[in-house]
Amino acid sequence: MKKILFILSLLIPAAAALGQEADLSFTDATDLTICGKVFPDTPNPYERMDFSLAEGWEHKDSTLLEMSSGVIVSFRTDSPSVWVKAEFKALSQSKNQSRAKRGFDLYIKRDGKWLWAGVCGYSTNLETENGKVLSLVKHMDRSMKECIMYLPTESKVTSLQIGVENGSKLEKGDMPFRHKICLHGSSFMHGVSTGRAGQTVPGFLSRMTGLQFCSLGVSGDCRMQPQFATALSKADVDAYVFDSFSNGNDKTVRANLFNFIETIQAARPGVPMIFMHTIWREKRNFDMEHNDVEARKIAAADSLMKIAVKKYKDVYYIPSNAADSMHDTTNDGVHPGEWGYYLWADSVRKPILKILKKYKVR
């Protein structure tokens, strides 16, 4: 008898787990609304670049742009719980900020505002994680809800399904944000060191303003290279916002800035190009070598942008800030944490909106 009870004790949890998944129905994310992308028609819907738009791509470019940072799935459901089933080409191997790098981040609209609802995170092993079902939120009421879900910042998604409880509705969501604004930049715009995938500068700005800021952050790889300028010149967007002076050095700024502007403007005349001043990196506080490199780069950017805003129509240069009064928002001396990214987004919100208003983007 004891042996039978022992066997039953092993089988019941397994049966419950199987029953839990059996009580769910899944819909492919491509049958819902996918947004947050500068280039919507990529061969893989969860990547961010159509590489046929330009030549000269380097391995680092393609590796970073295959990551799904900033991609959003919009849907409506009355299910008490929401789940994901994902497969990956690659999973970030970092142990830090795993929910951002390998996780999905859910927001639900309440009283006209996007309110955080749930998060999940996959592990680092492709063999065990591919196809795994994870929950985002449970025990909700049965009212119909508008949802947006952010994809991982530093992993490569190949397949994604949204799960709801059997008998529940799951429908395509409306486009959650207005217009389309390209936000191209460094690891800062990519979301490195943030805690969740929705806590990036583009994510914060979209939810703050209702405008669609599409993330084209490429960690360590934003130096205004010709292949990026060519691709961006073919983007169907209402405005560009650039974090172009956080990577590289004073030499790359001097070599690339004017060509970058002219390539895009030749194809997209009249579209505003808003450049952000890079933030103060707290590593500069005591590391004099790092301070010298940053100071020379920023001096080059400031001097050239002073010329650019006079030389080129529709080009702007705005300040930015990711620090509080204690200068204690950094994660590693270079990247802000999520509070720092919120401060950055908030610091540029009004200047960007003021410029966009001139172009009837509101």
Give me the chain's average pLDDT, please.
Answer: 94
- Asked if the model's pLDDT at residue 45 lies above 80, the reply is yes
Question: Closest Cα partner for 321 from 300, 299, 351?
Answer: 351
Q: What angle do CA 218, 220, 224 make, to 5 degrees?
A: 70
pTM: 0.93
Residues paired with residue 72 on neighbouring β-strands, in sequence order: 35, 150
pLDDT of 139? 97
Q: Which residue has the higher pLDDT, 7 or 201?
A: 201
Any idea which of 92-96, 263-267, 293-297 has the lowest mean pLDDT?
92-96
- Sorted by where each starts, the structural domains of the chain and their CATH numbers stand as 24-172 (2.60.120.260), 178-358 (3.40.50.1110)
Indicate the pLDDT class of residue 95, thresholds 50, 70 and 90: confident
pLDDT of 332? 95
Q: What would the mean pLDDT of 354-358 be, rounded to a whole number?
A: 98
Question: Closest Cα partner for 362 from 203, 183, 181, 214?
Answer: 181
Q: Position 105: which residue type? A: D
CA distance 181 to 198: 17
- Asked if the model's pLDDT at residue 3 lies above 80, the reply is no
Which pair of tokens denotes residue 177? Answer: 């944000």
pLDDT tens-digit map of 16-39? 343 355 599 999 999 999 999 999
pLDDT of 6? 46
Helix, strand, coil shares of the chain, percent, nearest 5, are 35, 25, 40
Reported as half-sphere exposure (CB side, CA atoms, 13 A), residue 26 has a value of 19
pLDDT tens-digit map of 192-214? 999 999 999 999 999 999 999 99
pLDDT of 219? 97
- Asked if the model's pLDDT at residue 13 lies above 70, the reply is no
Helical pair 288-311 and 250-267, crossing angle rounded to 10 deg? 30
- Asked if the model's pLDDT at residue 171 lies above 70, the reply is yes
CA distance 29 to 157: 11
CA distance 243 to 246: 6
Residues paired with residue 133 on neighbouring β-strands, in sequence order: 85
- Asked if the model's pLDDT at residue 7 lies above 50, the reply is no
pLDDT of 8? 45
Percent of the chain surpassing pLDDT 70: 94
- Asked if the model's pLDDT at residue 226 lies above 60, the reply is yes
pLDDT of 186? 98
Three-class SS state of 57:
coil
Q: What is the DSSP string of 109-163?
A: EETTEEEEEEEEE--S-HHHHTT-EEEEE-S--SS-EEEEEEPPSSSEEEEEEEE
